[in-house]
Amino acid sequence: MNIIIIEDEKPSARLLQRKIEKLGFQITTLLHSVEEAIQWFQNESHPDLIFLDIQLSDGLSFEIFDAVTIKSAIIFTTAYDEYALRAFKLNSIDYLLKPIDEDDLKVAVEKFTARQPKSEPISLDFDAIKRMLANPEEKNYKKRFTIKTGQYLKMIAIDEVECFYSENKGTYLHTIDNRDYLLDGTLEQLESELDPKEFFRVSRKFIIPMKKIKDILVYSNSRLKVILPTYKEDEVIVSREKVSDFKNWIA
């Protein structure tokens, strides 16, 4: 069986590869962007099964199917919740919600192998899925975070978040009461879980909520500096390439 993974985060792709190989299957190719995937499909035999992340570094993965006709079976890997995905559960083999559970992975692969003798073509309405993802009313965004602190689980509501930031390969949540909590996942994964009307990624290091912006200052090299109520560990700078989009966001 020919299986490939399309996932922009290389550590996540390798982790998924190891989990699949534990089930007795081999991954033949790892692809990490829309552009790379299009080039690969144009020159290689198409696989039996694709593990497909929805949001890649250079765009939605559905752009691949705008450029190339693909009839492979697909298992989505995504940070979107069940409400947002229910429309295409009927058409794809399955979807796996990140972080991917090994039991869920096994069930998804078994669904694929069970339908193999029937040789049924896979029909996916990518235009409908793109329309659904583009409509924020169709999606449930993150409302709270559950964080383990010692032997306890702490619930933090989204309104308590002052910013998210990355540091020393970790992702942290900073609260309005000036505390920091380590999160699972990355800022890239958080971007897909947060309401874009309320949160903006100002740089590679920071995601901030509009409601917690205290002041905005003009900074060097055509950048902006954001002042938050309690976060003082590092300067929150809007990177130069983000300034225009940031201004539109706060307008």
CB 161 within 8 Å of CB 155:
no
- Which two three-digit tokens encode residue 170? 């970790």
So what's the pLDDT on residue 94? 79
pLDDT of residue 141: 86
Give the CATH H-level superfamily of domain 144-250: LytTr DNA-binding domain (2.40.50.1020)
Residues of the chain with CATH 2.40.50.1020: 144-250
Mean pLDDT by 10 residues, the chain (251 residues): 92 94 94 94 92 86 84 82 49 76 90 68 58 58 87 91 94 96 90 92 96 94 94 93 93 83
Cα gap 11→19, rounded to integer Å: 12
- What is the reported pLDDT for 42? 92
Residue intervals in the chain for CATH 3.40.50.2300:
3-136
Concatenated DSSP letters for 51-81?
EEESEETTEETHHHHHHS----EEEEEES--
CA geometry: angle 244, 248, 251, nearest 5 deg:
135
Instruction: Please return the burial class of 143, using the count of CB atoms within 10 Å of its CB with bins 0-12, 13-18 and 19+.
Output: exposed
pLDDT of residue 185: 84
User: In angstroms, rounded to a whole number, what is the distance separating the alpha carbons of residues 100 and 102?
Assistant: 6
Domain boundaries 3-136, corresponding CATH code: 3.40.50.2300
Q: What is the pTM of this model?
A: 0.51
